[in-house]
Structure 1
């Protein structure tokens, strides 16, 4: 069985509670006026095992040891000791009484704190001043060993789940149930991934390299999709940074320079921590619905380095599918002036809704660090050297390796996961459930015995003005996620035009180190060809633009395309791709009565040609610094979208190539840059520019991409019609910003909806030569284009949009407004587009 869709597997198992820890307590802490006491200290007497109450006064604490007394304390209140008569004590109600003598000596803070004369903020400013001198940044070079353990658990388990028909025959999975020390929920561990790495860095050249030396997980062996999913889910972060990126969201760090405007800070205690005198500062958000944390941290009194910190995401934070998010970091004292991270722990509770009793999936990552070494210089080539991205030895380490490199012992439950999943994979019912989820997640139906996937199933039916009802069937070879080669194809039939269409492509990875790949493909199909400026190498691709089910206005400007292409790709350096290719295409209008590709041709008796035959050679460079890829096969997934992209393409059309019709050259540039704007959300900036040298017909010109569909399509203009502007020289700019609810969170009646405001502005300038206007006069006449407004060269065409995202956590709707060129034929002043997606 293949394991391509781990999230599907996570959502299939639920279980009930078998309490394994020796002492468990949960409850609420109140004051004499029945008001919750946040951040109260709860401790097992005679131990260092404890926790703090949350903002609602709620707490949960457990231990593998047996304790008889619980100690509850908070500044300004009398300390209370509560006898524990049972091993399990849930829903305790604890009332603290104000302590008279303490109140004379200590000021109890609540609500919004003053920014002036606040000792906690004075300490915070000293942290800012010294943060560049703390940790690894104070050394020229560094290296250390890292051990990472990621676990996924099903939580909130009760007897109704165990007895449900869904799990009949799989009851054995419930033998590993435990209870979370953070949330108090019962949970069942169902997946664990362990990774051991060696990390090297050089601050003088700003380079870092991580060598994975061991990887092991329960039941998924060397599946790079699962491993990549984990890396994408839990990005690395630094509490000293102003903003901490988690789940593609930018949280304001409690140590941020903008923290004074975001958090309330209270100096609550001072004590020795590992023989270092430290201050304890509690913090909590000033406003609701922002991406913030609450918690506390200990900071050293001389270096102002963080010794310990815990961060819990505010329950009102505008983030989907996550009910709890909790982070702990501990720093080790190397000497009097060096504090280095020792342990990093993050827990997240993934749920479909945030109700208290909702079931979900815990994701837990524990990272430990040791064997630090400094100022051991290595040559630049060490950091830049290409290595084989997949080494089978790394994924088949024996038990002796893990005994040496596992920096934290696995507990009984974690050890049991390996055995449980091996057994579960033999259960036929689980296989069937897994396969159903896999189809919904991937769009492909898997035939494992044939090593073939049928799909995508969502393209089976369609409709447009040329084909009428369209039926499509296709598939791909699939031996595993890291296949060195893949073949895919499709066949389609249109009932109106009574024509059969097909496509077939294959690609082969010849060398993993340099990503040397060759690919060939051919397609005979009906397509909307005016949806992008820079070319795509997806020979089999289609889009919403070819379906009038999802379009407004006239959608008959479709093209019959006969395309064959071959290319070779390689990466001489990481994330720097070089591509050479050649193609031959035949283009002809699919609806001659409403759309024309005709051009002047003196060699034809009629003086007009209606078909384009063109061979083309291409060379392109793509640079994506910072991109993280998943997998090592011929096809890879991209981990995130935070990297910039630079694409340069050169194309040469030559009449000597396969009896082609035109000579020309084309140069194009594409640049895209995502921008995190701190607590104000995220922007995306895109620039495209290009020029065609030579006289070419409409099918080879650059069309400013309109969008007549009701879907938001990347880098198109939603109020432009297809073929409204045609150019041979162009520049377009797109700028979009998502505030992630920053503005709506200030509006009381909108705050609870967690909506996200989105704004955008787009512009296009282009020109077309007189020679190309003359060459394409027959086509332009059919389109009804005014010779003076074929291209937006007189003034820049522009439009803007305002949108609302996160509607029901899934839907986004944009209203788009045209800024000028209102006199164009069928000009649309306003359009509405939308999209559906799962976003945190």
Structure 2
């Protein structure tokens, strides 16, 4: 039983990180009318989806979901509901104003008996865009997008309430009845069994926010003031709650149907009213709602290919000359090339402005995830966004836009329960899971839960918590290489349980082949009285490290002595033994600009087959070590960056925004034994470009220049990879220490087609595979003053056992490698065939290679 619980929480922990203003608190004296119910066929009793429901003679409209369920509310006094659907007679039902009611409606079919049936063909006519009234209508909508999405207004202001909930869903009564859960029944919630996520759920996360938003055109300005912020709080030593919030925010992003592309679950879907939508969608006029003012046209749409990242559903278009979207229902086909998504529904409701145009008033987005498409437990998330007090062309004082664009009110996280109850009154469904706040607080006091989360943290984050101290990371306890042989390592660090100001970290390692001890010790003082791993960081650190390093090996999100990286191709017998004394100062800002200043005294000694040799009076002379003293300044700017903070690394939640890096290093000769004067400047830009249905491209542009005369260990040693893992930022067929430069420029492009081609191949499309391709180009050169072939007093380039030089500079020809591959194998694996296009005569190089990478995508 215990193992069963641990498996459930194990899955949860794996998926999540991979996820008092009086004016606002006042209640209106007009009571709200709330109608819920189910619409079915009067004959066969099957639910009817997407039925238009409205208060007769008004613009208050909604539609039933895929299960025929609907909810509609108003504070106005209306006494009759109208139900309309093509092929059925319109139904009218009386309601009682100011009350909550359940009204189930049975609709009668309009079908009539025919005296004669003539069958002309069993083949449907081919769908065409030409002379298609539905396509002509959607083109009118596209033509009028600019004025209908608010760009015609100089000033806009509104309040936004949003609620995000996430649950372990589709659970069985057998699961709930396990003996292990006998004392934890308070965690489970029951809902209507026809809803997405099934009858039995276990809520695990919820957050609510209320913000005041101001927008201005010419010049463009935006101000967001967060008035309230309430969310579930997990123990930070187990889960980064803020990171989880950002993860869900990316997965369940805002939906603007007027944008060409809509971001959901880390992918981009083409909007049904995108400029190119007639190329990818089929449109059908399925109903005309004449009782609504203005008259509405119900326009249904489906993808031309049901495996593409496209929606299907209905939109309602106003026939008043504005051709605006008045309502929308979006879902996806079950065959879509989207991992783990079992169901997706989005409902968009629009309200009319005084000038007759419409603005988005409410969005309700539900996504259900699961390994099995139709059964078994899974995860269900729901995000509801409500906009109110919407005002247009009401200028705000300039003081409103002063200061940061995003501001959190001082008491935002201390709002009382009544404050939030007032916000939830707009939709009764928003009160469904509010017990989660106290339930999670209670859960975290239970010893068995703490023990289980402790185990999960050990397995995935790699640390075992002992209160003020934690041991790890586990995946570095054992590794091996040709120089050190078997390597054992043990280490750990202090936690906030010891101090919010002082942090210490250490490890010790021993190589059984080189019989040398390696160790590390650091002490850090937090200047903002919070964990040094929490954003924004502001600390000063002093450290000493004696350890080995592969020249030029720069890894992201993994440590070099990770056991899985011990397996390498070719020769791997050149290491550097390093003694590094270092002082760092790091300061991050809320706008995601940061700077870091470090001072380093660095001693490098060659290891394995690596030798430092130079010519002294024409005699070859061996040098035991080199000393350098450096000052480094790093500048980084990542606007709108989102990430999940793990125990070791920040895992980025990649979006469309660029990341800028600039680093300057100065070598100081004569300072603390430094032997060289030099200046090294490096800059890079990383950005993801979304190409709608063609997928996305990750682009990295980088360049550097070194001023001064230095030996090759201080040159830019280009990032190589001799493991069998595909590394995005390394050259996967380049050998360690193969190329060095004192000036270089590079561009890396990695493109994911998201199955654009595979989706159109019969049978293959069922596998939901995705095409990937990459190209990496590196230009570099070495001035004569830094080239040992021209300057014999410099360290000579390394040679192999056959006396052949294995390190060189790039000539006028750039180094180029590319790959094509298949991603999403078993939903987690990417395999690339990599080709190296030049420098094939260098010793011990491979022209071709197969590399694999584990990557979790939706």
Measure the CA separation in 1 of the matches of 2:831 and 2:586.
Answer: 38
CA distance in 1, matches of 2:226, 2:334: 36
Answering whether residue 481 of structure 2 is matched by residue 464 of structure 1, we say: yes
Cα distance in 2, alignment partners of residues 485 and 634 from structure 1: 17
Match of 2:611? 596
Query: Measured at CA, do residues 561 and 327 of structure 1 come closer, stay the same or move farther in structure 2, by a change above 3 Å?
Result: same
Q: 2:185 aligns with which of 167, 171, 183?
A: 171
Tell me whether 1:675 sits opposite 2:689 in the alignment.
yes
Distance 1:229-1:601 versus aligned 2 partners, 3 A rule:
farther
Shift of 1:380: 7.5
SS of 1:232 mapped into structure 2:
helix
Separation of aligned partners in 2, 1:28 and 1:456: 60
Does the residue aligned with 1:126 lie in a helix, a strand or coil?
Answer: helix
Deviation at 1:614, TM superposition (A): 0.5
Note if 1:61 corresponds to 2:80: no
The secondary structure found in structure 1 opposite 2:284 is strand
- Given that residues 576 and 607 in structure 2 are in contact (C-alpha distance below 8 angstroms), is that contact kept between their aligned partners in structure 1? yes
- Counterparts of 1:656-671 in structure 2, within 5 Å, are 656-671=670-685
Match of 1:761 in 2: 775
Q: State how far apart, in whole Å, the 2-side matches of 1:216 and 1:716 are.
A: 42
Q: Are residues 1:371 and 2:385 paired?
A: no
The residue that corresponds to 1:644 in the other structure is 658
In structure 2, relative to structure 1, the CA distance for the partners of 1:437 and 1:546 (3 Å cut) is closer
Q: In structure 2, what is the equivalent of residue 794 of structure 1?
A: 812
Counterparts in 2 of 1:452 and 1:514: CA distance versus 1, 3 Å:
closer
2:363 matched to which residue of 1? 344
Paired residues of 1:803 and 1:813 also in contact (CA < 8 A): yes
Task: Show the counterpart of 1:523.
Answer: 545
Matched, 1:153 2:167: yes
2:288, 2:296 within 8 Å by CA — same for their partners in 1?
yes
Matches within 5 A, 1:175-194: 176-179=190-193, 181-182=195-196, 185-194=199-208
In structure 2, C-alpha distance between the alignment counterparts of 1:583 and 1:468, rounded to whole Å? 29
**Runs (5+) with no aligned partner, structure 1:** 13-20, 82-87
Provide the C-alpha distance between the structure 1 equivalents of 2:497 and 2:696, rounded to a whole number of angstroms.
Answer: 35
Map of 1:225 onto structure 2: 243
653-662 or 737-746: which moved more?
Answer: 653-662
- In 1, the alpha carbon distance for the partners of 2:189 and 2:661 equals 53
Distance 2:768 2:43 in 1: 29
Q: 1:416 corresponds to which residue?
A: 435
Does residue 1:723 correspond to 2:754, yes or no? no
Deviation for aligned residue 1:376: 5.0
Q: 1:27 to 1:185 in 2, by over 3 A?
A: farther
- Secondary structure of 1:574's counterpart equals coil
Match of 2:828 in 1: 810
Are 1:321 and 2:335 counterparts? no
Secondary structure, aligned partner of 1:778: coil
Is the CA contact (8 Å cut-off) linking 2:633 and 2:664 kept in structure 1?
yes
- The DSSP-based 3-state class of the residue aligned with 1:153 is strand
Q: How many Å apart are 1:484 and its aligned residue?
A: 6.4
Deviation at 1:696? 1.0
Q: Please say if 1:120 is aligned against 2:134.
A: yes
- The question of whether the paired residues in 1 share the 8 Å contact of 2:56 and 2:82 is answered with no
Distance 1:414 1:481, change over 3 A: farther
**Whole-Å separation in 2 of the counterparts to 1:712 and 1:38:** 49
Tell me by how many angstroms 1:296 deviates.
0.2
**Offset of 1:599 from its aligned partner?**
4.0
Q: Tell me if the contact between 2:579 and 2:603 (Cα under 8 Å) persists in the aligned partners.
A: yes
Name the SS of the counterpart of 1:801 in structure 2. Answer: strand
Distance of 1:633 and 1:377 partners within structure 2: 46
Residues 443-476 of structure 1, C-alpha deviation per residue, up to 9 Å, x if partnerless? 32233xx233322222222111122122222223
Q: Any idea what SS the aligned residue of 2:188 has?
A: helix
- Give, in whole Å, the separation in 2 of the partners of 1:498 and 1:273: 87
Residue in 2 that maps onto 1:829: 847
Change (3 A) 1:11 1:622: closer
Within 5 Å, which residues of 2 pair with 1:354-393?
A: 354=373, 356-375=374-393, 377=395, 383=401, 385-386=403-404, 393=411
Q: Is contact 2:744–2:779 with CA below 8 Å preserved after alignment? A: yes
1:550-593 deviation digits (Å, cap 9, x = unpaired): 211111112111122223233578233233221111111221xx
SS at match of 1:453: strand
Match of 1:135 in 2: 149
TM-superposed CA distance for 1:241, in Å, is: 1.0
For residue 700 of structure 1, report the CA deviation from its aligned partner. Answer: 0.5
Check 1:476–1:350 CA distance in 2 against 1; reply closer, same or farther (3 A cut): farther
Q: What is the CA-CA distance between 1:234 and the residue it aligns to?
A: 1.9
Q: Say whether the 8 Å CA contact 2:227–2:408 is kept in structure 1.
A: no
C-alpha distance 46-818 of structure 1, shift in aligned 2 (>3 A): same
In 2, are the aligned partners of 1:477 and 1:487 still within 8 Å (CA)?
yes
Change (3 A) 1:406 1:521: farther
Residue 722 of structure 1 and its aligned partner are, at CA, apart by 0.9
Q: How many aligned positions are there?
A: 796
The residue that corresponds to 2:23 in the other structure is none
Structure-2 separation of matches of 1:475 and 1:668: 33
1:42/1:53 contact within 8 Å kept:
no
Deviations 1:282-320 (A, max 9, x none): 111111211111110111112111111011022111111
Between 1:553-562 and 1:179-188, the stretch displaced more is 179-188
SS of the aligned residue for 1:250 comes to strand
Change (3 A) 1:97 1:572: closer
- CA distance, structure 1, for counterparts of residue 173 and residue 13 of structure 2: 21
Alignment correspondent of 2:461: 442
Contact 2:51 2:68 in 1 (8 A): no
Superposed displacement of residue 393, structure 1 = 2.7
Match of 1:304 among 320, 323, 334: 323
Kindly indicate whether the alpha-carbon contact (under 8 Å) linking 1:60 and 1:181 is maintained by their aligned counterparts in 2. no
Closer, same or farther in 2 for the Cα pair 1:481/1:809, shift >3 Å?
farther
Question: What TM-score, normalized to structure 1?
Answer: 0.84
Q: Which runs of structure 2 are paired with 1:626-641 in the superposition (5 Å)?
A: 626-628=640-642, 638-641=652-655
> Which of 561, 567, 570 matches 1:550?
567
Residues 1:377 and 1:625: Cα distance change in structure 2 (over 3 Å) = farther
Q: Comparing 359-368 with 623-632, which one deviates more in the overlay? A: 623-632
Determine if the alignment matches structure 1 residue 570 to structure 2 residue 587.
yes
- Structure 1 residue 783: Cα displacement: 8.1
Q: CA RMSD in A?
A: 4.4
**CA shift for structure 1 position 130:** 1.4
* Shift of residue 146, structure 1, vs aligned partner: 0.8
Per-residue deviation at 1:402? 2.2
Distance 1:785 1:257, change over 3 A: farther
**Residues 391-420 of structure 1 deviation map (CA, whole Å, 9 limit, x = unaligned):** 763222112432444453565632333343
Distance in 1 separating the partners of 2:54 and 2:171: 26
Deviations, residues 311-340 of structure 1 (Å, cap 9, x unaligned): 102211111122111111111102243311
452, 470, 476: which one aligns with 1:433: 452
Displacement of 1:667 after TM fit? 1.6
Question: 3-state DSSP class of the match of 2:278?
Answer: helix
Any idea what the Cα deviations from partners look like across 1:712-764, whole Å, max 9, x if unmatched?
A: 22321111111111222222221111101111111112101011110111111
- TM-score normalised by structure 2 residue count: 0.82
Q: 2:760 aligns with which of 738, 746, 749?
A: 746
Change (3 A) 1:242 1:100: farther
User: Which residue of structure 1 aligns with residue 412 of structure 2?
Assistant: 394
Q: What residue number does 1:16 align with?
A: none
Maintained 8 Å contact 1:481/1:631: no
Aligned residue for 2:512? Answer: 495
